[in-house]
Amino acid sequence: MSAAPVVVLIGPMGVGKSTVGQLLAERLGVGYRDTDDDIVAEQGRTIAEIFVDEGEPVFRAIEKQAVQRALTGHDGVLALGGGSILDEDTRALLLGQRVVYLSMDVEEAVKRTGLNAARPLLAVNPRKQWRELMEARRHLYEGVATVVVTTDGRTPEEVTQAALDAL
């Protein structure tokens, strides 16, 4: 089967891709899918366990496959893991799609995720790690996005409405 998502959601972890994605899917009357969930189901272990057991490069390879499958096998709202846009081939696949980048600033990110052991990339010094993460990735998100929606100070419902208005 070949299908293309109605909307692809990208953005950093903790920005609310799952919550907004599900609200957006409801409003559009389509299904919702999340590549992190696909990976956990396929691998039978959590993302954190994959990072610890195998390291980030192996996780990225698994993620790349999962994203490519979802991009051609789902016709609803699709949320991608926050780091999936690090891959050049994945970014190329996103060109021509409707891609909504949910953004937030560093302080909002620290506030929302705090010290979250389930998120392997934030285990040591969240503020510093967030700053570096955003600096490294912001332009990659912006480069593939057709729409940017800021989530700072907004509820998931407000973010969803802003995304719908912009689409």
- Assess contact for 122 and 115: CB atoms under 8 A: yes
CB of 3 to ligand S3P, least distance (A): 21
Footprint of ligand S3P on residues 132-161 (CB under 6 A)? Answer: none
How many residues bind ligand S3P (CB under 6 A)? The answer is 10
Q: Tell which one of 31, 73, 76, 120 touches ligand S3P (CB under 6 A).
A: 120
Ranges of beta strands (E only) in the chain are 7-10, 32-34, 77-79, 99-103, 147-150
- Give the strands of the sheet with 99-103, arranged side by side: 32-34, 77-79, 7-10, 99-103, 147-150
CB of 6 to ligand S3P, least distance (A): 19
Footprint of ligand S3P on residues 31-90 (CB under 6 A)? Answer: 36, 47, 81-83
Ranges of beta strands (E only) in 39-142 are 77-79, 99-103
| Binding segment (CB under 6 A) for ligand S3P, from list 24-32, 67-75, 94-102, 115-123 | 115-123
* Contacting residues toward ligand S3P, per CB under 6 A: 13, 17, 36, 47, 81-83, 119-121
